[in-house]
Each structure stands twice: as structure tokens, then as C-alpha cells.
Amino acid sequence: MILNKTLADASAPAKIILFGEHFVVYGNHAILASINKRINVNLRVNKTRIITIRSNLGITASYADSRFNLIKGGEDTKEILDPIYKCVSNVLSLRKQSFGIEINLHSQVPYGIGLGSSAACCVATVAAVDSLFHKPNRGWICANAVESERLIHKDSSGGDCYISTFGGLIYYIRNGRSKKIKSKKNLTFIIINTGVVHSTKELVSSVKRFKYNERSLFKKLSSCAEDICQNALSAISRGDDKKLGKLMNENHMLLQQLGVSNKEIDSMINICIKNGASGAKITGAGGGGSIIALVPNDYKTKIISEIKRNGYESISAKIDYDGLLVH
């Protein structure tokens, strides 16, 4: 295949999971939204055969014939950058090319806080590399990004890559027909970072063990989660924030039973509810990471200042409707 350019630039949004995390891995629906925080990837082709990946999160590595070479960063650098390298090498091998590429990642969200930064990096990287050859196709990009993301955790539902590629608010199901949701109202969420980096892989494995050891309880929780998700879909379409908030609290209780919450997360959720949030829950794998709170406009300032007073960082987020952008 012929190169049609030597520089490329793409960006993909981070995400929140409103309903259904973990259960989505086993075939339930989930409701996901992409948010107005992006991961930008720009790259330059060179004449070496080395792939160099540099991130604004302070890590850099190069790969020569698949061999990892740490340039800057800690012990987790390889785990973070391997999927990105896989995105690059897969596309190059599919396009029967073997040139060098220098890649710069710029993320507006930290790694490991449940906002899907690694999926967004994979989506934007696949798109940027493939755009060197032709106009990229979103479905193809998403499928290839999921494959690389499965290096991080092999059971990935694929939801993070899907929402990051297509954007908006989505009623998602693994291996099925996902659909866009029209929200009657503008939903405003506050995202609060616990400051504890989580490992999605470990949390997904712990839920897998729970499912195995507590078969009938897991089945019950899973069926409640599916009901909650369906009710949430109709609450969003009706613009019923009160109901939506209540369903978020119920969803959080299921996550507590799965064992992915902890005292700190629960106390942050209580702060939000006590100060006027309609509902709050873990978003993503849990065990740290982030929580989201659905907040009526009148209470936004109060909740943000209470969160700050308790020593946590909050991010106000709007839903992003663009998804992947190849610039």
C-alpha cells in the first residue's frame, strides 16, 4: 500500500459509564457516554524501523523488532504502552509496511482512573496510523483498537473503544446491536477522582472469581443490573433526572456487592448525595478510579466546593458527540 502522507493527527474522547460496568463483560447492556476530555495522537513517519511512543504523562519507550526499550517512566510504562505499540504494529503489518514512527500522545485525563484513557489512546492511534494509507473507517478502527486493548485485559467488553470511536450517549451490548440514546435534557455530571489508580485487569478478574464462587448471587445481581439499565434508558429519554439519580444509587449498591467499592468511594458518594446530587456511583472498574455524580445545576458549585474541602479533585464534564476525529 502506498503512503499518502508522513504526518498524521487524530484524537478520541475519554468516557464515563453511567450504568452496567462489569456486568457488560458478561453480556448485559451498559450505558456509556463520551466526554469532552480528549486524547490526542500525532505521529511522524521516519526511515528507521523503530517505533517510539512518548506521552505527556511522563513516559517514553521505543520498540525495535517488538523489543521494548524503556526511555523514561516507571515500572508500569510497558503495561501502559504495549497496547499502543500493538495498535501501530498491527496496522503496519496489515498494510504490509515496516517503517519507523515517532508517536506523541497528549492526554487530558490521567491514566487508570476509570475514564477510558487507554481505550481512547488505542482508538486514536489505530486511526492516526491507518490514515497514513487511506481515509479511515470507524468500524474497522474500533475492532482493531479492541483487539489491542484486550492486551490490557483479555475479557474487555469492548465498550470503552466503542464509545470512544462513535461518541455520544450509547446503549451498549457486547457483540450485539448498540444504539445511540437521545437525552431529553442536557445531563451534567461531576467526575471525582479518588486519586487511587486502579487496575481494570485485576478488578475484572476479581469479579470473575466472584461470579464463579457466588453463581446464584451473581445471576441475581446481573438481572437487577439489566433492569436498572433498561429503566435508565427510559428515564434518560423522558428527561427524568430524579429517577435517573435513584437508579445510579441502585447501580452503585450492586457494585458494592460485587466488591469493587470501598470506604473511601462510599464516603465520597455520600458527600455528593448529602449536598444535593440526584445520584452518584462508581464509573468504570472501581477499586479507586473515579465516581460520577448527576448534579442539578443549582447544586453544582456547592458539591464541587465540598469535594474540594474533602481533598478530592473534581472534573465537570459534558457529553462529547464527535467521537473519533482524524484531523
Which residues are known to be catalytic?
160
Residue 251 CB, shortest distance to ligand PMV, in Å, is 12
Report 39-58 residues binding ligand PMV (CB under 6 A).
none
Report 288-307 residues binding ligand PMV (CB under 6 A).
289
Per CB under 6 A, 287 contacts ligand PMV:
no
Per CB under 6 A, 160 contacts ligand PMV:
yes
Report 14-33 residues binding ligand PMV (CB under 6 A).
21-22, 24-25
- Single out the residue of 204, 235, 293, 319 in contact with ligand PMV (rule: CB under 6 A): 204
Report 65-104 residues binding ligand PMV (CB under 6 A).
none
- Single out the residue of 159, 167, 168, 288 in contact with ligand PMV (rule: CB under 6 A): 159
- Single out the residue of 116, 136, 245, 288 in contact with ligand PMV (rule: CB under 6 A): 116
Decide: residue 7, CB within 10 A, 0-12 exposed, 13-18 middle, 19+ buried.
Answer: exposed
> Based on C-alpha coordinates, what's the Rg of the chain?
20
Residue 227 CB, shortest distance to ligand PMV, in Å, is 18
User: What are phi and psi for residue 254, nearest 5 degrees?
Assistant: -65, -40
Strands (E), 195-289: 279-283
Per CB under 6 A, 261 contacts ligand PMV:
no
Residue 327 CB, shortest distance to ligand PMV, in Å, is 25
Residue 299 CB, shortest distance to ligand PMV, in Å, is 26
- Single out the residue of 200, 251, 261, 278 in contact with ligand PMV (rule: CB under 6 A): 200
Distances (CA, A) of 61 to 69, 131, 243, 269: 6, 23, 47, 38
CA distance 277 to 144: 38
**3-state SS class at 214:** coil
CA distance 124 to 161: 10
Q: 105: Cβ–Cβ under 8 A, 6 or more apart, which residues?
A: 39, 40, 41, 53, 54, 55, 56, 57, 84, 121, 125
The HSE-up count of residue 200 (CA atoms within 13 Å, CB side) is 29
By the criterion CB under 6 A, which residues form the site for ligand PMV? 21-22, 24-25, 114, 116, 156-157, 159-160, 200, 204, 284-285, 289
